[in-house]
């Protein structure tokens, strides 16, 4: 049970059920869809970028608790950051999920997703948003 506690912690459920970032962003300058063809998780990330700074960000879509919460937490983290910093944090998150030693504090709420690394079948769900953002900003 302790494993599931980690996977479906209160904070993850909160992001899943009541994310403040779940909306369309009318003034978005970048819009990117990401999906896991094998399981059907499907998200769209909206970014409003001014110069190098991500001024606003949001997402829409559907999928499991992990994919949706992870997306919401990522938006939390990258909003207000410049592109380079956002990409650095994305890499950090990906490293965490791949069980590499990273400084978790920097990842904010998203650090609670570390537990996903013990559920190999769910790693793709956690990474979907981050990989999508990486592809968009690169």
Residue 13 binds to other proteins (criterion: CB under 8 A): yes
CA 73 to CA 47: how far, in whole Å? Answer: 15
Per rule CB under 8 A, is residue 41 in the interface with other proteins? yes
Q: How many residues bind other proteins (CB under 8 A)?
A: 20
Q: Rounded to the nearest whole angstrom, what is the least distance from the CB of residue 8 to other proteins in the complex?
A: 5
46-75 positions binding other proteins, by CB under 8 A = 62-66
Q: Report the side by side order of strands in the sheet with 30-35.
A: 30-35, 42-50, 53-62
Q: Using the rule CB under 8 A, which residue among 106, 109, 119, 137 binds other proteins?
A: 119
Smallest distance, other proteins to C-beta of residue 60, A: 13
Q: Which neighbouring-strand residues pair with 125?
A: none
Q: Is 1 in the site for other proteins (CB under 8 A)?
A: yes
Q: Is 38 one of the binding residues for other proteins (CB under 8 A)?
A: yes
Q: How far is CA 54 from its chain centroid?
A: 15
For position 125 contacting other proteins by CB under 8 A, the verdict is yes
Q: Whose Cβ is closer to other proteins: residue 61's or residue 78's? A: 61
């Amino acid at each position: 049970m302790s494993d599931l506690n980690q996977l479906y912690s209160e904070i993850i459920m909160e992001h899943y059920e009541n994310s403040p970032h779940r909306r369309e962003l009318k003034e978005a300058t970048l819009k990117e869809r990401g999906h896991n063809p094998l399981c059907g998780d499907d998200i769209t990330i909206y970014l409003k970028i001014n110069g190098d700074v991500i001024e606003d960000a949001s997402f829409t879509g559907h999928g499991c608790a992990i994919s949706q919460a992870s997306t919401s937490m990522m938006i939390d983290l990258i909003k207000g950051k410049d592109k380079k910093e956002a990409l650095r944090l994305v890499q950090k998150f990906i490293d965490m999920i791949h069980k590499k030693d990273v400084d978790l504090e920097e990842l904010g709420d998203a650090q609670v997703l570390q537990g996903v690394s013990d559920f190999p079948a769910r790693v793709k769900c956690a990474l979907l948003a981050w990989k999508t953002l990486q592809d968009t900003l690169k």
